[in-house]
Amino acid sequence: EAQVTQNPRYLITVTGKKLTVTCSQNMNHEYMSWYRQDPGLGLRQIYYSMNVEVTDKGDVPEGYKVSRKEKRNFPLILESPSPNQTSLYFCASSPISGKSPLHFGNGTRLTVT
Amino acid sequence: AQSVTQPDIHITVSEGASLELRCNYSYGATPYLFWYVQSPGQGLQLLLKYFSGDTLVQGIKGFEAEFKRSQSSFNLRKPSVHWSDAAEYFCAVVPDQTGANNLFFGTGTRLTVIP
């Protein structure tokens, strides 16, 4: 089954403790992206990647890192999480064309205390 | 500033009634336009999309949307709402038709369906 898999689904952590949210897709998509969803703000793009070893900042990249060493994986790294990073995070992927709709994972709800 | 606007934060409709969710964008050229739906605890699912051509597009679950260039709008409609349509709906835009798939979202409209 074609899918985007994020792990974990839920995560509670403390300020400053490094964490990684994994994202994997099995559709051989070139494009992958991370979004955060906050009430009243919709989804805002954090980082995106057009292919292996090609990443770029989205609208809200501060406090996040990503890597794209393999085509299928696009982990989101929070080196020193802070409470304002408490949010619902979505990973998405698609073929490279702007006409291709995004396939979304089921989300990771992160709480930073 | 470039943006996607969904002016209605929350809409309540009765089951069987018609529905229209508004979306306006402020990008220079005609972008690619999408509507996504998010059910509770789920990711986003594509309802429909517009790239060019016929300005009325049909999507899944009985939804349709109409692109109006003069109003920079892409409103979502459904003639008769079902209780299972209760969800959050997002309008989204790829501003640059020559570029890759960088999608910008509106803030969403939450739909409540009452019996």
Of B48, B94, B102, the closest CA to residue B75 belongs to B48
Minimal Cα–Cα distance from A105 to chain B, Å? 6
β-pair partners for A47: A34, A57
Give the mean model confidence (pLDDT) for residues B51-76. 94
Residue A97 has what pLDDT?
A: 74
Query: A40 and B34: CB-CB below 8 Å?
Result: no
Find the CB nearest B44 among A58, A97, A104.
A104
Cβ atoms of A19 and A3 closer than 8 Å? no
Locate A91 and state its tokens.
């990973």
Q: CA neighbours within 13 Å on the CB side: how many for B92?
A: 30
Q: Model confidence over A29-83: pLDDT tens digits?
A: 999 999 999 988 999 999 999 999 999 999 899 999 999 999 999 999 999 999 9
CA distance B103 to A101: 9
Minimal Cα–Cα distance from B105 to chain A, Å? 6
Q: Suggest the residue from B88, B101, B105, B109 to mutate for an interface test with chain A (most A CBs closer than 10 A).
A: B101
Query: A99 and B51: CB-CB below 8 Å?
Result: yes
- Is residue A89 less than 8 Å (CB to CB) from chain B? no
Residue B98 has what pLDDT?
A: 57
Residue A77 burial by Cβ neighbours in a 10 Å radius (0-12, 13-18, 19+): middle
Q: Per the structure, how many domains does chain B have?
A: 1
Show residues of chain B in contact with A4, CB under 8 Å.
43
- Residue B46 belongs to what H/E stretch? strand B44-50
CA distance A60 to B32: 22
User: Cα–Cα distances in Å, from A105 out to A1, A42, A54, A77, B88?
Assistant: 13, 16, 21, 17, 16
Range of the domain at B73: 4-114
Find the CB nearest B43 among A58, A96, A107.
A107
- Is residue B45 less than 8 Å (CB to CB) from chain A? yes
Cβ atoms of A80 and A18 closer than 8 Å? yes
β-pair partners for B44: B38
CATH number at residue B67: 2.60.40.10
Q: Suggest the residue from B30, B44, B93, B97 to mutate for an interface test with chain A (most A CBs closer than 10 A).
A: B44
Residues 6+ apart with CB under 8 A from A66: A34, A46, A47, A49, A55, A74, A75, A76, A77
User: Cα–Cα distances in Å, from A1 out to A4, A6, B60?
Assistant: 10, 15, 20
Q: How far is CA A96 from the centre of its chain?
A: 17
CA distance A49 to B92: 19
Q: Model confidence over A15-34: pLDDT tens digits?
A: 999 999 999 999 999 999 99
Higher pLDDT, B95 or B71: B71
Minimal Cα–Cα distance from B6 to chain A, Å? 10
Q: Model confidence over B3-42: pLDDT tens digits?
A: 899 999 999 999 999 999 999 998 777 788 999 999 988 8
